[in-house]
Structure 1
Amino acid sequence: MNTHIHAKKARLPKDWHPADIKAALEKAGWSLRRLSIHHGYSQGMLKNALCRPYPNAEQIIAAAIGKRPEDIWPSRYDERRPLRGIGGAPSHRSGPYAALRNHRLNRHLSTDDQSTSRPNEGNVNRQGDDQ
């Protein structure tokens, strides 16, 4: 007899289904396309927020519905979820070639620093300067 008790995992709140988001927008008198154009974006820009994190688009959609983005996409704003990008968990820039990419970037930045310094800049005679 198996008496091992499994601890239940804390369930994250589920994100709204894209069809529910579209329906809420329709009830508020908007479509994703019209809302995008109204805010000066291309026709399909807000559609990206339905399938991937896009904070600006999430804010616009949430405001049109009268909710907070955290209420519509709780998994994207959950404190228990690791952060992505700078200062957070590894992003798409990590992986087997990340070290090579970082080395090239650091080498490029160090050569830029050398090329921008001009030791005799004060002695250069510029056109239009009084002598």
Structure 2
Amino acid sequence: MTRKSWDNIEIKRALERAGWTLTGLAEFKGLNPNNFRAVWSRTNRPAQEAIAEVLGERVEDLFPKRYPIRKSRILSIENEQAIASQKAMRSSDRVAA
């Protein structure tokens, strides 16, 4: 049941179809219900994870603007070459001094 985008109304309706309210889910998870009410306007990872868990979706799929898919943090070859050239410049500066 993966979709391209979910809006707030779809998420709330899906929760209601599953038999949950935001307050009921907050109480079940032991979280503050006020945090669940603000989930539409602010990032709150525990509340959003609870909603995603109940709906069987990933947090990134339900709230893509708040949790963008990030690229790998592994350095690319271009970055390694730039770092190597900077180190080479520092070495030559030391020799000249």
Pick the TM interval, shorter chain.
0.5 to 0.7
2:29 to 8, 20, 39: 39
Partner SS for 1:44: helix
Q: CA deviation at 1:74?
A: 1.0
* TM-score, normalization by structure 1: 0.46
Residues 37 and 71 (structure 1 numbering): CA distance in 2 closer, same or farther, change over 3 Å? same
Query: Equivalents in 1 of 2:64, 2:51: separation in Å?
Result: 14
Query: Equivalents in 2 of 1:66, 1:41: separation in Å?
Result: 19
Amino acid aligned to 1:76: R
Query: What is the identity percentage for the equivalent residue pairs of Structure 1 and Structure 2?
Result: 36
Aligned length: 68
Query: Equivalents in 2 of 1:44, 1:77: separation in Å?
Result: 21
| Equivalent pair of 2:31/2:47 in contact (CA under 8 Å) | no
Higher helix share: 2
Q: CA deviation at 1:47?
A: 1.8
Query: Equivalents in 2 of 1:29, 1:42: separation in Å?
Result: 19
Q: CA deviation at 1:45?
A: 2.1
Q: After the TM superposition, which residues 68-107 of structure 1 pair with which residues of structure 2 at under 5 Å, given as runs?
A: 68-79=58-69
Question: In the alignment, what sits opposite 1:54?
Answer: 44
Provide Cα deviations, 1:74-120, integer angstroms capped at 9, x if missing partner.
1122146xxxxxxxxxxxxxxxxxxxxxxxxxxxxxxxxxxxxxxxx
Unaligned stretches of 5+ residues in structure 2? 71-97
Which portions of structure 1, spanning 4 or more consecutive aligned residues, are displaced by more than 4 angstroms?
none
Question: In the alignment, what sits opposite 1:119?
Answer: none
Amino acid aligned to 1:37: E
Report which structure shows greater RCO (CA 8 Å, sep ≥6): 2
Larger Rg computed on CA atoms:
1
Unaligned stretches of 5+ residues in structure 1? 1-12, 81-131
Query: Equivalents in 1 of 2:13, 2:63: separation in Å?
Result: 15
